[in-house]
Structure 1
Amino acid sequence: MRHTDTRKLDKSQARHVWDVAEYCKRSGIHKAEEQRLIKVLGRYASSHELQMNIVRPQTRTR
């Protein structure tokens, strides 16, 4: 593991990283979908990664 001096980091490029289980709990995502996201993304992911990988069930049929 490499140490980084946090004073030298550019804060404009910082992203909020979520615990996948916490994000799913807050968003009301089913437990099975939560487990799939953890397999795909790992324990932590950005909100954009989570939103792009969530599979929502079809609610409208023709």
Structure 2
Amino acid sequence: MKHADVRTVANSQIRHIWDVADYCRRTGIHKTEEQRLIKMLGRQATSHELQMNIVRVQTRIR
């Protein structure tokens, strides 16, 4: 059995929690997309959750 250092285990789970409206305002996400994210994730979410659930409009490059 290995000894786990409590300080490293406790710090490994720390994640920044964003206010969804603030995150959308800072990153320039449209208001309708912001409302969809709030319905899906709630008022607060981690940055990873936000990044994985944002639907961006595809630009056609040719």
Considering the TM-score relative to the shorter chain, is it more than 0.5? Answer: yes
**TM-score bracket, shorter-length normalisation:** 0.7 to 0.9
Structure 1 gap segments, 5+ residues each: 1-8
Q: Does 2:25 match 1:17?
A: no
Q: CA deviation at 1:61?
A: 5.6
Aligned positions, number:
54
User: What is the TM-score when the length of structure 2 is the normalising length?
Assistant: 0.80
Query: Which structure has the bigger radius of gyration?
Result: 2
TM-score normalised per structure 1: 0.80
Percentage of identical aligned residues: 74
Task: Point out where structure 2 has 5 or more consecutive residues left out of the alignment.
Answer: 1-8
Q: Where do residues 23-62 of structure 1 align in structure 2 (5 Å cutoff)?
A: 23-60=23-60
Aligned-pair RMSD on alpha carbons?
1.5
